[in-house]
Chain A
Amino acid sequence: MKEVINLPVKNIEEEEYFINMGPQHPSTHGVLRLVISLQGETVQSLKPHCGYIHRGIEKMCEKDTYPQIIHLTDRMDYLSAHINNHAVCLLVEKALEVEVPERVKYIRTIIDELNRIASHQLWWCSFGMDMGGLTCFFYGLRDREKILDIFEESFGSRLLHSYYTPGGLMMDIHLNFQKRVKDFIKYFRKKIKDYDDILTGNIIMQERTKGIGILTKEEAINYGVTGPSGRASGFACDVRKHHPYGVYEKADFNEILGTDGDTFTRYMMRMHEMRESMKIIEQLIDNIPAGDYTAKMKAVLKLPAGEYYQRVEAARGELGVYVVSDGNKTPYRMKFRSPNFSNLGSLDHISRGFKIADLVAIGGSLDYVIPDIDR
Chain B
Amino acid sequence: MDNATLKERILGIVPDAKFQENKQFLTFIIPPDKMHDLAFKLQQEADLAFDFLFCLTGVDRIEFLEVVYHLESTTLKHQLELKVQTPDRENGAVDTVSDVWKTAEFHEREAYDLLGIKFNNHPDLRRIFLEEGWKGYPLRKDYVDEVNIVEL
- Report which A residues bind B (CB closer than 8 A): 50-51, 54, 56, 58-59, 63, 218-219, 221-224, 235-237, 242, 306-309, 311, 318, 320, 322, 324, 332-333, 335, 337, 341-342, 344-346, 349, 374
Q: CB distance B106 to A320 under 8 Å?
A: no
Q: CB distance B70 to A320 under 8 Å?
A: yes
- B residues 11-56 in Cβ contact with A at 8 Å: 22-25, 51-55
Q: CB distance B103 to A223 under 8 Å?
A: yes
| 12 chain-A/chain-B pairs, Cβ below 8 angstroms | A54-B130, A221-B52, A223-B103, A224-B101, A236-B74, A242-B77, A306-B23, A307-B68, A308-B24, A320-B54, A320-B55, A342-B107
B60 within 8 A of A: yes
Which residues of the other chain, B, contact A56 by a CB distance below 8 angstroms?
138
Chain B nearest Cβ from A219, distance in angstroms: 8
Q: A219-B102, A311-B54 are in contact. List 7 more A-B contacts (CB 8 A).
A: A59-B138, A236-B74, A237-B74, A309-B81, A322-B68, A337-B55, A374-B129
Chain A nearest Cβ from B89, distance in angstroms: 15
B131 within 8 A of A: yes
Chain B nearest Cβ from A95, distance in angstroms: 9
B125 within 8 A of A: no
Q: CB distance B114 to A58 under 8 Å?
A: yes
The CA-CA distance from A21 to B128 in the complex, in Å, is: 17
Which residues of the other chain, B, contact A320 by a CB distance below 8 angstroms?
54-55, 70
Which residues of the other chain, A, contact B4 by a CB distance below 8 angstroms?
none
**The one of B70, B74, B127, B139 that contacts A221, using a Cβ cutoff of 8 Å:** B74
| Given known contacts A222-B102, A309-B55, A235 and B130 CB-to-CB distance under 8 angstroms | no
| Given known contacts A224-B53, A237-B74, A374-B129, A333 and B59 CB-to-CB distance under 8 angstroms | yes
Closest to B104 in A: A224
Residue count of chain B within 8 Å CB distance of chain A: 33
B57 within 8 A of A: yes
The CA-CA distance from A349 to B106 in the complex, in Å, is: 13
Which residues of the other chain, B, contact A311 by a CB distance below 8 angstroms?
54
| Given known contacts A306-B23, A307-B22, A322 and B57 CB-to-CB distance under 8 angstroms | yes
Q: CB distance B129 to A50 under 8 Å?
A: yes
Which residues of the other chain, B, contact A324 by a CB distance below 8 angstroms?
59
Q: CB distance B25 to A309 under 8 Å?
A: yes
**The one of A63, A236, A308, A345 that contacts B103, using a Cβ cutoff of 8 Å:** A345
Q: CB distance A51 to B131 under 8 Å?
A: yes
Q: CB distance B103 to A335 under 8 Å?
A: no
Q: CB distance B74 to A235 under 8 Å?
A: yes
Which residues of the other chain, B, contact A51 by a CB distance below 8 angstroms?
127-131
The CA-CA distance from A50 to B114 in the complex, in Å, is: 14
Q: CB distance A333 to B152 under 8 Å?
A: no
Which residues of the other chain, A, contact B131 by a CB distance below 8 angstroms?
51
B105 within 8 A of A: yes
Which residues of the other chain, A, contact B152 by a CB distance below 8 angstroms?
63
| Given known contacts A51-B128, A54-B129, A341-B106, A322 and B55 CB-to-CB distance under 8 angstroms | yes
Q: CB distance A224 to B23 under 8 Å?
A: no
Q: CB distance A224 to B54 under 8 Å?
A: yes
The CA-CA distance from A56 to B148 in the complex, in Å, is: 12
Q: CB distance B22 to A58 under 8 Å?
A: no
Q: CB distance B51 to A342 under 8 Å?
A: no
- B residues 79-96 in Cβ contact with A at 8 Å: 81
The CA-CA distance from A322 to B23 in the complex, in Å, is: 14
The CA-CA distance from A341 to B110 in the complex, in Å, is: 10
Q: CB distance B59 to A222 under 8 Å?
A: no
| Given known contacts A51-B130, A223-B103, A333-B59, A309 and B51 CB-to-CB distance under 8 angstroms | no
Which residues of the other chain, B, contact A224 by a CB distance below 8 angstroms?
52-54, 101-103
Q: CB distance B55 to A345 under 8 Å?
A: no
Q: CB distance A222 to B103 under 8 Å?
A: yes
Chain A nearest Cβ from B38, distance in angstroms: 17
Nearest 9 pairs between A and B by C-beta? Answer: A224-B103, A51-B129, A54-B129, A337-B55, A345-B106, A335-B57, A222-B102, A223-B102, A333-B59
Q: CB distance A58 to B139 under 8 Å?
A: yes
**The one of B23, B102, B129 that contacts A345, using a Cβ cutoff of 8 Å:** B102
Chain B nearest Cβ from A233, distance in angstroms: 12
Chain B nearest Cβ from A366, distance in angstroms: 14
Closest to A332 in B: B59
Closest to A218 in B: B51
The CA-CA distance from A311 to B70 in the complex, in Å, is: 12
Which residues of the other chain, A, contact B130 by a CB distance below 8 angstroms?
51, 54
Q: CB distance B59 to A342 under 8 Å?
A: no
